Amino acid sequence: MELNAAGIKLIQDFEGLMLEAYRCSAGVLTIGYGHTSTAGEPFVTADMKITQAEADAIFRRDIEIYCQGVREALQVKVNDNQFSAMVSLCYNIGVVGFANSSVLRFTNEWRLAEAAASFALWNKAGGQVLRGLVRRRAAEAELFNKVQA
């Protein structure tokens, strides 16, 4: 189970790249490709600026955290598309959120149609449904359901 190019593209496309710190829709200080202090160093400060090379390095470190979180939570073997979709979700909602998600529960029960449908439940930030999250969850579910050659 590996994060594939489609998963990396999905994450980077939806996170976007910001080289100056900003507050995301949930009010959390964020930089790079959606990096927050929750993922570890560097800890984001309001006046922080980074380079493209730093953003790429932070992204690679963050990806390893979320890939490991998904691997540790899975009790079944999934294909790379399914794994990549779950890593994208985990990257966005955190390891704890993912570990408690119905996406994970249904996948571990091998109820894959229900797992795919459950991505859509994670569409809120600050209690509000966000169109960007609706689109991201649809893209994750589509990747999860995509048959590999």
User: Which residues does the annotation mark as catalytic?
Assistant: 15
Q: Looking at the DSSP assignment, which residues form a beta bridge with residue 20?
A: 49
> SS3 of 22, please?
strand
Taking a C-beta distance cutoff of 8 angstroms, is the pair 33, 59 a contact?
yes
**Torsion angle defined by CA atoms of residues 64, 65, 67 and 71, in that order, rounded to the nearest 10 degrees:** 130
The residue among 65, 95, 96 whose CA lies nearest residue 3 is 65
Q: Which of 65-73's residues contact partners 24+ apart within 8 Å by CB, and which partners? A: 65/39, 65/40, 65/95, 66/90, 66/91, 66/95, 66/98, 67/3, 69/95, 69/98, 69/99, 70/1, 70/98, 71/1, 73/98, 73/99, 73/104, 73/108
